[in-house]
Amino acid sequence: MGANSKSEDEWRAILSPQQFRILRRKETEAPNTGDYNHHDASGVYSCAGCGTPLYKSSTKFNSGCGWPAFFDAIPGAVSRHEDHTLFMTRTEITCTACGGHLGHVFKGEGFDTPTDERHCVNSVSLNFKGE
């Protein structure tokens, strides 16, 4: 049984209430409240749901948006889906391994990064392991 096949009750048992709301219900933490927004240590950010490595600290940048921002994910770790909530079309990003909601990705905002993308990620969706 893979990580993505856990039942709602199994996810509730292993995640905190806030992690469950964000990772499984696709909610969003309030801006400027997450532990990793101004975090700048070297290491790897992993999915808080299943532990899969998602982002390297070398791709994190300060976007000023109120959430941790990354310009690229570890190859294959993050999936993209069209999101039509809130009366707009955005690109949702999820953990490829377990389907946990991470946040959204935005393109073409003019940040001086190699990809011109901003992966806007909820801190609650992440765990960090330093080098």
Tokens matching residue 18: 């806030």
Please pick, among 47, 50, 95, 120, the residue that the annotation labels catalytic: 120
Q: How far apart are CA 117 and CA 119, in angstroms?
A: 6
Q: How far apart are CA 95 and CA 23, in angstroms?
A: 9
* Host H or E run for residue 43: strand 43-47
Active site residue 120: yes
Work out the burial of residue 5: count CB atoms within 10 Å of its CB; fewer than 13 is exposed, 13-18 middle, 19 or more buried: exposed
Distances (CA, A) of 10 to 5, 18, 96, 124: 10, 15, 19, 18
List active site positions: 120
